[in-house]
Structure formats: C-alpha cells, structure tokens
Amino acid sequence: MVSGLYASYGPIQVLRDINFAVGEGKMLCVLGANGAGKTTLLRALSGMIPFQGSVTFRGQPIKGVPTHRLARMGIVHVPELRGTFAELSVEENLRLGALCSTANQREKLEDRDRVFSYFPRLQERSRQQAGSLSGGEQQMLAIGRALVSRPKLMLMDEPSFGLAPQIVTEIYKILTVLKDDHQLGVILVEQHAALALELADDAVVIASGQIVVSGPSREIKADSRIQESYFGAENY
Amino acid sequence: MQDFLHQLASGIVSGSFYGGFALALVMVHRATGHLNFAQGEMATLTAFLAFTALQLGLPFWLAALIASVVAFFLGAITEALIMRPFATKAQIRLVIVTIGLFMLLNGSSGFIFGFSTQTVPSPFPDSWASDYLSAHDTGSLIVVGAMVVVLFVVFRFTEFGLAMKAAALNPTSSRLVGINVELMRAIGWGIAGIIGNIVGLLVAPAIFLEPNMLLGVLVYGFAAALVGGIDNPWGAAVGGIIVGVAENLVGAYVVGTELKLSVALSLIILVLLLRPQGIFGHRSVKRV
C-alpha cells in the first residue's frame, strides 16, 4: 500500500504523489519510458533511498526502515542487473538468499531444491561462480535467491533486460507460477509493455515521475489510446 | 644438520606468529575489503593491558580473556567511529587513516605503559618443551593452529562466515538479502582485534613487551597474508610459515641476520609480480 510517495536524488525530484496498492498473490506492473522513475520507485520501496509520503507493508509503516530489516520483513528486491554475488558460487548465493528466511534447516534445503526444480540449469552449475553464468542463468539465480527467502513481496526490476526472448518467456512463465503458488505480491518494472500487461493483474504507467494511468492490465491493454501515447509501436 | 633443524624449527615458530597475525589482517580484509596497518599496535596495547592485569595478580587466562574482550570492542568501535565515515571514499584514504591510527596507538602504548622493555612469562608449562621447540614455541604453534581451524570452519561452513564474506564483496546486494553490513564490518574488526591480541600475548614472552614489539611481525604478517592469499585463512597460516622459514634460513645461510627483513619484502614483491592473488587465493571470474 503506497500513498502520496515522493522521492528525490538530492535536489532532483524524481517521483511525485505516487499512490497504489498490491494485494497478496497479485502482480502489479509498472510501465513507463526510460528515466520515468520506475527504478527509483523500487529503490524507495526497499529502503535503498529515502522517500517522503507513507508506505505500509502488511499494515506496518516502513518509512526509514533500513534495507536489511525490510528484507527480513519479507520485501525482497531483485535489482536491475540482478545483483548476484559474482565471486560466490550458485550454491552460496542461494544460501545467502535464505539468510533472512524463517524456515528451519531442512525447509531451507527443500526451498533450495524447489528452486533447482524450477531452474534445473542452476543445479547443474551449483558449484560455479555466479559471475561465470550467462545473463539468463544469472536472472534465474536472482529469482531463486529471492524465492528462498520466502518473501511476501517481490520487487522485480526489468528481469527481461538483455535476455533472449525465449529465456524471457521461460522466466516469466515461472514467475507467474511462483506468484500463484506462494501467494506472492509482485511489483514488476518492465520496459516490455506487451509482455508485462499479459502477466500482471494491474498496471500503472509512470511518466516523468507521476502516475498517468492506472487500472487492471486487461483494460489498459485494450485501450488503444494509452498504447499509442505511452508505449509507442516498437515495444509492441 | 642439527643447526639446520634448529633454524627450521625457529623459522616455523616465528612463521606461526606471522601467520597468526596475518589471520587478523585476513579477517579485516574479509569483512571490509581493507587493510589495517594499525592491527599490530591495537594488539600491542591490549597485550600491555593483559600483562598489567597479570602483574595485579590475575591468572593468565583471565587476563587474556579481559584483553580479548577489550580488543574486540577496540576493533569494533574503531571501525564504527573512525573507519565508517571513510568507507565510501577511495582506498588510499583508508590506508592513511589506519597509518594515523598506527601512530596514535603506538604513542599511546608508550605514553601509558612506558617505553622500557619488559620480560613477561610464558603461559605454557615447561613440560611442553622438546628437543627443537621450547615450551612456549610448542604452545604458540598449538594456539595459532587452533585459530586457523576455527576461522576456516567459520568461513567455510557457517552462514555467519558467508554473510561476512558477502558483506565485503557486495554491500548493496548484501543488504537486499537482509545482512546488516555495518554490523558485520564492526564484528569483523572486533574478531581481528581478538586474533591480534592473542598473537600479541604469544609474541611478548618470546621477545620483550614494548610498544614496538609487533612492528616486525606487522611487516612479516603482511608478507604472509600476501604470499598465502589475503582472503584465505589457510593461505595466511601457510604463508606465515613460508615467510618465517625463508627468513630464518636465508638469514642464517645466505644474507645474514641484518638483511632478514629484506627477505619478507622480496617475497611480497615476487608474489605481487607473479601471482597477485597469493599462492592459495583464487582469482575471481567475471563475465562481461
């Protein structure tokens, strides 16, 4: 639940009066052009930058709560360019993901095996350094790492960035399964509007730091005027 | 032959001091990615404290325990109050800050406890002595060996060790997985303080207790850490032994005792030229 959120980098106001809500098991996609403030929004929600306004997570205000504490509360942020630990092995990355999970040791192993069942390629490479994986595999690892923390809300920043369409489809397919299986709230930032609208329940469009359109994805997808004014033809 | 074995044994013993000290350097590097040039002076200060407590009549283990607790907080608080404001600045500033700390602590030890050299007793029973090793030598080897094993196990098998490693490698991602990076850094410095303190307590009976007693050990310890690999406890320990043995043998048979220190420095240069990650360190792979 976000209401009246403002965020800035120093003197530069990036986000103005942002309001939205995401329910459990629901996916909200945040669309908009480069530089519209989408990444800033996620960074504010995970405590990486300060914001004004009010944000509540499962009834609790989270303003000023440090990132590591938010992670323990169940907000997991998968940043742009994935943020995996390149020097550590796949296995170690997954162990780190499970640090803030409340599960016991056996459940943690089950969580890890579940990630391996979603992404068998990670299991094959579990001893390799994460930095040596391909872009798609790193994205799988980033999602897997988020998942083993047993999050309640997942913030995904452009998971399709720099990946082949085939891999993107694969990753998104799993993402929707995850969302339904784990009653996970997802806030998805995506350039690729058509794909995101296909998957998400609701959508907001941000232009120069403000929400200009919001509503169920179906309606936004069907509205040709929105399509033309905000997404252009090339993303479609 | 007899002489050679004596040289070898004393090389291994001084090597264990270097290796033990290198462990403290590795610890700080693991936790924060930095080098602490003041590590030796922190250890000297707490060693003085321990031996003062000993003079007041406390048993050795209690004096060592008190000094270790002080060393932990000295390290952790130094990190939190002095190092943290520089954490995002260039590495060279941190180096200069730790050199400043080095001078401050060195002067403080002298100011508080005096510059005269004192002999201090060894905590180990005489019955531990053997043909080539004194009781103190044997005890020191056992203590350093135990520290290596403990650190190795912590880093290799515990989530705490992994979290500490992660915090140094990638603070941003670490916060995202719920690690309190600032706390990890302070704890890393604190643990390094304890390790340094223990090495200080082992070195003082072997030489003399005085404000500059760990100066040589600091240089050799850096050599040990670099030779073995700055991110690896085993490497640091083995690096220490290599440096200690090389120093003793080359000093005894090749260049003479006056030039012993140059052995350590040559080793540093050689390793940095030929294998910058150290003998046991591994190079990180990055795909771009």
Q: Which DSSP string do the residues of B203-237 spell out, in sequence order?
A: HHHHS-BSTTTTHHHHHHHHHHHHHH-TT-HHHHH
Taking only the tens place, the pLDDT of each residue in A151-210 is 888 898 888 877 888 888 888 888 888 888 888 888 888 877 888 888 888 888 888 877
Tell whether A109 lies on the interface with B, counting CB pairs under 8 A: no
Q: Which residues contact A116 (CB under 8 A, 6 or more apart)?
A: A122, A123, A126
Closest by Cα among B242, B152, B272, A224 to A213: A224
pLDDT confidence of residue A3: 58
8-state DSSP, A184: -
- Is A2 in a helix, a strand, or coil? strand
Domain count, chain B: 1
ipTM of the shown complex? 0.84
pLDDT exceeds cutoff 70 at A56: yes
Instruction: Judge contact between B235 and B279, C-beta under 8 A.
Output: yes
Q: Which of A68, A131, A132 sits opposite B180 (nearest CB)?
A: A68
A43 token code pair:
């960074």
Helix (H) or strand (E) holding A17: strand A12-20
Which domains can be identified in chain A, with CATH numbers? Answer: 2-193+220-231 (3.40.50.300)
Query: Which own/partner contact pairs does B252-256 have at CB distance under 8 Å and 24+ positions apart?
Result: B252/B3, B252/B7, B253/B7
Give chain B's residues under pLDDT 70: 282-288
pLDDT confidence of residue B17: 92
Taking only the tens place, the pLDDT of each residue in A64-96 is 889 999 898 888 898 877 778 988 899 999 999
Closest residue in B to A100 (Cα–Cα)? B178
Tell whether B179 lies on the interface with A, counting CB pairs under 8 A: yes
Closest by Cα among A25, A9, A15 to A185: A25
pTM value is: 0.84
Burial tier of A190 (Cβ tally within 10 Å: 0-12, 13-18, 19+): buried
Cα–Cα distance for residue pair A71/A77, rounded to 1 Å: 8
Give the distance from CA B278 to its chain's centroid. 17
pLDDT confidence of residue A13: 66
Taking only the tens place, the pLDDT of each residue in A3-37 is 556 666 656 667 777 778 888 888 888 888 777 78
Cα–Cα distance for residue pair B162/A223, rounded to 1 Å: 50
Instruction: Judge contact between A156 and A187, C-beta under 8 A.
Output: yes
Residue B6 lies in a domain: yes
- How much of chain A, in percent, has pLDDT values that exceed 70? 89
Looking up tokens 């270790």 gives: B68
8-state DSSP, B80: I
pLDDT confidence of residue B280: 75
Q: B201 is in which domain, residue-wise?
A: 2-115+126-274
Residue B212 lies in a domain: yes
Q: With contacts defined as CB-CB under 8 Å, which chain A residues touch B176?
A: 46, 67, 71, 76-77, 79, 83
Residue B152 lies in a domain: yes
The CATH number linked to B6 is 1.10.3470
